[in-house]
Amino acid sequence: MMPRERQMVPHPILLVARQTATNQIEMIYDQPTDLESATNVSNYWIRNNLDRPSDIATVARDDMMLLPTNSLTSNMSMIMPVDNSGKRFFITFNMNATPGVQYTVLPCFVNLRGKKGFRGENWGPGSSNTFTAQ
């Protein structure tokens, strides 16, 4: 959990994360984002519902520690904007998600367009950031 004062800084919230291909997830934020922070793979973690991370997941179901050492990497994925809105992005992986496994997209440190310095989580109670791979 991030300290309360950091959560009070205005920041975009991930509204939806959904699988669009066997190796791709579409993400939609509620507000335009800073492209540099939104497309930085090390600002994202993927949790699965298994005992250990595998394929596109970087953390297992019981692992609550989101660390630089268990974030996505440029060796496994890339993030590109879908359009010019600053709200829609694709994460494309160099491997497929496992059908039937549940994944949760956990972005942190993504700033609003024109802003810098947010150091918290970019999801909330209203985020639909979990999906079951097809």
Are the CB atoms for 125 and 72 separated by under 8 Å? no
Domain-wise residue ranges, the chain:
4-132
3-class state of residue 78 by DSSP:
strand
Distance CA 16, CA 2 (A): 21
Cβ contacts of 24 within 8 Å, gap of 6 or more: 90, 91, 92, 93
Are the CB atoms for 17 and 131 separated by under 8 Å? yes
**Digit-coded pLDDT (tens) for 49-97:** 999 999 999 999 999 999 999 999 999 999 999 999 999 999 999 999 9
Per the prediction, the chain carries an average pLDDT of 95
Q: pTM of the full predicted structure?
A: 0.93
Q: Write the DSSP symbol of residue 49.
A: S
3-class state of residue 64 by DSSP:
coil
The CATH code that applies to domain 4-132 is 2.60.40.1220
